[in-house]
Copies of this chain bind each other. A is one copy, B any other.
C-alpha cells in the first residue's frame, strides 16, 4: 500500500533540510554568536512547509535544476525563521518556548535575538542574490527576488503582523481578521509557490493561478489552525468549544462559529483544488500535501 502523506513527511522534511542547511553560515569568526543564534533557530525544527511547497511547485512546472531553487528554499525558511524569532520577543508575544526548545532570546539574550532575526532576514536576500550569475538566467532570478522581497514585506507578512500586534485584545471586524490571515499567514505560502513556478519558467497566467491557489490554501490552513486552537482549548479546559473568552486572540472561529468555520475551510480548499486540477501540469505529492495542510488528509 502506498504510504500516507503523514508517513512520507518525515523523510521529505529530512530531504528539505539536507538541501537548505548547507546555505546556513559557518559558525566561525568574531561574530560567531549571531551565526550560532541564526542556525539554532533555523535548526529548531518545523515542517519546512514553505521550502517544500516551493520545491514541489518548481517540480510541477518541470523545474529540474535543483541548484536554481535551493538558494530560494533556504531564503524563505530564513525569512520564516526570522519572523518567529522576532514574534517571540518579550515586546511582542513574549514566548519562552517554541517547539519545545527555548526561544532565541531565552537562549542568547534579547539583543542577540533581535540581531539574529535581522541577520536571517538580511541573509535570506544575500543567499538568494548569490543565485545571480551574470547571464540571461538573471532575468528569471530577478523576478523570484522581487517576489521574495514583496510577499514577506509591508504589503504582505509584516503588514499582517503589524495589524495582529495592534489589534490584540481589541474587537476587530471580520475584514480586519481576513487582512491578518491573508498577510500574516497566506502571503508566505504564496511567496513559496510563486517562486517555485517562476523559477521553473511558468507563464504569468500560471503564476497568477498559483498565487490564488496558495492564498486559498493559506486561508484554509489558518482556519483549520484556529479550529484546532478552539478544540484543543475546549478539551484542555473542559469547557464547550467556542465558549472561551476572547483571550486576546482574534480567530476565525470567533466570527463564524466552529461548524461554519469548518465549512468555510472546506470551501476554500475546494476552490484551490479546482484551480489546481485545471492546470496543465500535475504533481500528485503536492496535491496531497495541500490537502494534508488543510486537514483533509492524514
Contact = CB atoms under 8 A, between A and B. Distances in A.
Interface residues of A, number: 58
State the copy count for this chain: 2
A72 to B, nearest CB: 13
A150 B121 CA distance: 12
B122 A154 contact: yes
A208 interface: no
A119 B31 contact: no
B134 A139 contact: yes
Interface in A155-171: 158-163, 165-166
21 contacts: A25-B154, A30-B159, A30-B162, A31-B159, A31-B160, A31-B183, A34-B154, A82-B118, A86-B115, A91-B111, A115-B158, A115-B162, A117-B118, A118-B118, A118-B158, A119-B162, A125-B149, A126-B149, A129-B150, A132-B143, A134-B143
Nearest to A158: B119
Looking at A25, A91, A165, which has the most chain B CB atoms within 10 Å of its CB? A91
A114 interface: yes
A228 B295 CA distance: 63
